[in-house]
Structure 1
């Protein structure tokens, strides 16, 4: 769906949903084919990372004799979800289908584009009355409030007041005026969102406010799909959805390797993180980006305090234990910039690691990320080669 809206922190791939067939891929050797322009790529082979530069990690290659991977795709939540299972057991087809059905169920509850969804009801009644919501909506909104508080508004769940303000389509670029921005940002303040766990209600205090849960909802969907796989005895899998990746177990007996895209060379991956159980999200200024007549880059990750695209980072990759927090944290870290983002991650109780490319092309990493990363390139004075802000 081409909305022309500022999709906060979503590094979703640019996929034509009409070209994707339900459960289109078959059992194959090695990782399934990748989608174009994704910021993260799960690569089904690897060895223990030590932070040193290694041989280049090339998407789409696997060790010879690798066991079969069952891969299925389905268009959901206005993007494409893909599930890969390593050495699939006999029940894998049915279990993957159940996982997709759960994502479809969550879409009907959490979608911002369905008039009958909980989120749409909350937005429609902003400034009027509280709305009783289901447990899934309550969990997603509560997670969004967590990150809003942790980041002190760098990610703000009420960012959706900016809907329609920008249009990032190359053939119809729309950049708002300063007055239009001021009018909308006045409606953004997560402190004006009231959540009652006791009564299971959400209330927006001002008319015109709106919450946006898109990226958080996709991560939550990954969590639920992963739980279905594990409960059925499937321990080695990768799930991709809307630019987020969740991995569990191993591929070909080794940790999954998740590639991090070069922010100024979108056909290459400058590094990879290895894990046997984590969720990843990347926020980058190269997705949903356009240039105006003066050559200035305008992108979809908006600093809600200014109403303008964030300018302190080029890309941020966050690794967490749960998908529900990954997207919002990568957005918050992008807006904050490297130093403040790493300080935030040290401060909060929730464990999260990050690889950040600053506005100066310098690469910053949290301590555990340094231990897990596999570099594909040699940094020059700590900066990415072939990188211009």
Structure 2
């Protein structure tokens, strides 16, 4: 039995909204392979600039609805606090302090997330680096829409000469400092993964044992679906209306896909992806999409970005460096590259 309601989430226009929350996910089509032992409680939330689909399987509908309400409340608070380009949130305040070469006190949760992100930056050989907000702004990807032109080589080289990085940040207790006042935080590469992890944690603490949360195509499961794995399809980048690969998700697994084919702009016949290689200053080009399975959605989110940037020649090295087992890449010609463990779990359609 198939649930095709997710098809309407496809975004293919080259000049669509460029908010950070849409940036690093392609659509995954959720299907069902089991009988409905327990009826689902579903909700769709409009937040993060996209649709968030929550599906819970629990006999007590009121309990399930209360859990969804709590997730919704936390998501709106999270979006306000973590959006890189809106004033008033914690990330905006941190960026302002860094620009003024001033320290700033932060909550322990923020410190822990930054430290975790720094470990992912190191493991990815700085291909995933949330400290590159000024480079993102230089390309115009921080705006609602992109109007061009691309930045000049001179301006990109100027940024590279300074090369701000998340690794420039350090802490003394809960006080944040930066060695480089050109650092500007933008967690578009893994904040959505953090939101997914946070949602599943809330749902589990509410006593729910079976659920799936889908933010713009990136998903994480809680338990199984009526005793059976969750079945997911990965889009064909060259024909997004078709499913290219089928895979089953086990309990408490996340699946995240980064793609260059859904969010891009064209200038004088040249296509530019929204995903930028911080080591070159230019958009990634080698892969059309990269899918990562991992128990931690935050890690999967960062890893999918890093491997997409790494491209066909370096993807496996980055996957090993980040300790990944399940990775699937589709290049611009439609060729599939995947780890051995991933190949054992996927079915080409």
In structure 1, how many angstroms separate the alpha carbons of the residues matched to 2:2 and 2:223? 16
In structure 2, how many angstroms separate the alpha carbons of the residues matched to 1:192 and 1:324? 18
Q: Answer whether contact 2:290 2:328 (CA < 8 A) is retained.
A: yes
1:147 paired to 2:134: no
Structure 1 residue corresponding to 2:273, chosen from 291, 296, 299? 299
Which residue of 1 is the match for residue 48 of structure 2? 77
1:363 paired to 2:331: no
Offset of 1:223 from its aligned partner? 0.9
Structure 1 segments of 4+ aligned residues over 6 angstroms from their partners: 63-66, 168-171
Q: Answer whether contact 1:41 1:258 (CA < 8 A) is retained.
A: yes
Residue 41 to residue 87, structure 1, CA distance change in 2 (3 Å)? farther
SS at match of 2:202: helix
Residue 42 to residue 360, structure 1, CA distance change in 2 (3 Å)? closer
Which region of structure 1 is more displaced relative to structure 2, 103-112 or 219-228? 103-112
SS at match of 1:124: helix
In structure 2, how many angstroms separate the alpha carbons of the residues matched to 1:162 and 1:331? 16
Q: Answer whether contact 1:110 1:137 (CA < 8 A) is retained.
A: no
Structure 1 residue corresponding to 2:237, chosen from 256, 263, 281? 263
Residue 151 to residue 215, structure 1, CA distance change in 2 (3 Å)? closer
SS at match of 1:172: coil
Which residue of 2 is the match for residue 40 of structure 1? 27
SS at match of 2:139: coil
**Structure 2: gaps (5+ residues):** 12-25
Offset of 1:310 from its aligned partner? 0.9
Count matched residues.
329
**Structure 1: gaps (5+ residues):** 1-28, 47-62, 377-389
Which residue of 2 is the match for residue 104 of structure 1? 76
Residue 370 to residue 68, structure 1, CA distance change in 2 (3 Å)? same
In structure 2, how many angstroms separate the alpha carbons of the residues matched to 1:232 and 1:65? 22
1:279 paired to 2:254: yes
What per-residue deviation string (whole Å, max 9, x for no partner) do you get for residues 256-307 of structure 1?
12221111111111002211221121111112212222x3211101111221
Q: Answer whether contact 1:84 1:237 (CA < 8 A) is retained.
A: yes
Offset of 1:174 from its aligned partner? 2.7
In structure 2, how many angstroms separate the alpha carbons of the residues matched to 1:105 and 1:171? 27
Offset of 1:334 from its aligned partner? 0.6
TM-score by length of 1: 0.77
Which region of structure 1 is more displaced relative to structure 2, 354-363 or 307-316? 354-363
Pick the structure with more helix per residue.
2
SS at match of 2:242: strand
Q: Answer whether contact 1:357 1:363 (CA < 8 A) is retained.
A: yes
1:89 paired to 2:63: no
SS at match of 2:147: coil
Which residue of 2 is the match for residue 182 of structure 1? 157
1:126 paired to 2:126: no
1:239 paired to 2:213: yes
SS at match of 1:144: helix
Residue 311 to residue 163, structure 1, CA distance change in 2 (3 Å)? closer
Aligned-residue Cα RMSD (Å) equals 2.5
